[in-house]
């Protein structure tokens, strides 16, 4: 069976990477619009309603407008890569490892997770669910990303500098748009303090949650956190938990890193285990965006979850 797919916003970074992962796959037929048609509401409406699956790679307001163009009778299923519907009712949060593959496969509306929340939630949500970490703890998130995650505007700001800045801290006014999904899907009482930054690399991401374990009621042990994460992701073809404390000695974001759709999780601990650093590495354009969209698309269409993804050879 062939599934028709329309990428609304196909000319953007996320859309281009999704199309690259679908290239040569006989299970899909892409519905495409030329440059003029992309700005024509009628042409977009027709493409959206003709598709078996529409993938929205749009700013939030445009994604909301795209949903309004859909005829409920069309049967089109949607994957929204914007942040518009990540905490909305009647939308499935498209993180299969957390919410279940069956739930994603059965959904009509799937909201793709944000890149930073993907790393944060992968680390924290399973541990809060198990009761190893408290829901009301004042969590802090430090993260750096390749500049491609900021879209065309940020890409241009990096490219016009000679040389480009090595580090750019942002979100300094607080209230980052990723915070609601971090709080909601980790089931936290308070939003975390989020410190994002971008570096002079096109892709790649490190997300860190530092923990003062000695101050948490119940004397949480770093070994228990690592074991719980290993069990939670056991058998996952995409998320891998590094089994050793203290290794590797560095986590890098490389300027020439290739595309990847997996994610690695680490638990580092002080010698007395009173402090820990939970860390995730991923590609902000892979598991943090386009790779996750293709993973969700595969599930919606009843196909192997990892088909078309860039994964390390086992």
- Which residue's entry shows tokens 């930073």? 116
Q: What does the pLDDT profile of the chain (314 residues) look like in tens digits?
A: 899 999 999 999 999 999 999 999 999 999 999 988 888 889 999 999 999 999 999 999 999 999 999 998 999 999 999 999 999 999 999 999 999 999 999 999 999 999 999 999 999 999 999 999 999 999 999 999 998 877 666 667 766 666 677 888 988 988 899 999 999 999 999 999 999 999 989 999 999 999 999 999 877 899 999 999 999 999 999 999 999 887 888 999 999 999 999 999 999 999 998 999 999 999 999 999 999 999 999 999 999 999 999 999 76
Question: Is position 92 annotated as part of the catalytic site?
Answer: no
Fold of 3-113+289-300: Rossmann fold (3.40.50)
Task: List the catalytic residue out of 57, 92, 115, 301.
Answer: 115
Sequence ranges of the domains in the chain: 3-113+289-300, 115-284
**To which CATH superfamily is domain 115-284 assigned?**
Dihydrodipicolinate Reductase; domain 2 (3.30.360.10)
pLDDT tens track for 168-213: 898 898 889 999 999 999 999 999 999 999 998 999 999 999 999 9
């Amino acid at each position: 069976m062939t599934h028709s797919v329309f990428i609304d916003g196909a000319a953007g970074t996320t859309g281009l990477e999704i199309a690259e992962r679908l290239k040569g796959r006989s299970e899909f037929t892409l519905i495409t619009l030329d440059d003029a048609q992309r700005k024509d509401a009628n042409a977009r409406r027709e493409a959206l309603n003709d598709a078996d699956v529409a993938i929205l790679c749009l700013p939030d307001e445009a994604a909301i407008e795209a949903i309004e163009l859909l005829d409920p009778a069309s049967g089109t299923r949607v994957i929204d890569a914007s942040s518009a519907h990540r905490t909305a009712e009647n939308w499935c949060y498209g993180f299969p490892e957390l919410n279940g593959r069956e739930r994603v496969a059965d959904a009509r509306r799937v909201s793709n997770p944000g890149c930073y929340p993907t790393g944060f939630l992968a680390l924290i949500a399973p541990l809060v669910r198990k009761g190893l970490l408290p829901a009301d703890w004042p969590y802090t998130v430090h993260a750096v990303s390749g500049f491609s995650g900021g879209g065309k505007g940020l890409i241009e700001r990096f490219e016009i500098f000679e040389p480009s800045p090595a580090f750019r801290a942002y979100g300094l006014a607080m209230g980052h748009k990723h915070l609601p999904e971090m709080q909601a899907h980790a089931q936290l009482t308070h939003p975390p303090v989020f410190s994002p930054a971008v570096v002079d690399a096109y892709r790649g991401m490190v997300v860190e949650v530092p923990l003062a374990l000695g101050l948490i009621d119940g004397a949480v042990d770093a070994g228990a956190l690592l074991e719980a994460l290993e069990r939670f992701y056991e058998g996952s073809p995409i998320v891998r938990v590094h089994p050793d404390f203290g290794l590797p000695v560095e986590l890098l974001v490389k300027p020439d890193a290739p595309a990847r759709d997996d994610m690695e999780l680490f638990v580092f601990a002080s010698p007395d285990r009173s402090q820990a650093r939970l860390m995730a590495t991923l590609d902000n354009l892979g598991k943090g965006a386009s790779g996750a969209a293709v993973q969700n698309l595969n599930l919606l269409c009843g196909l192997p979850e990892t088909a078309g993804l860039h994964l390390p050879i086992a």
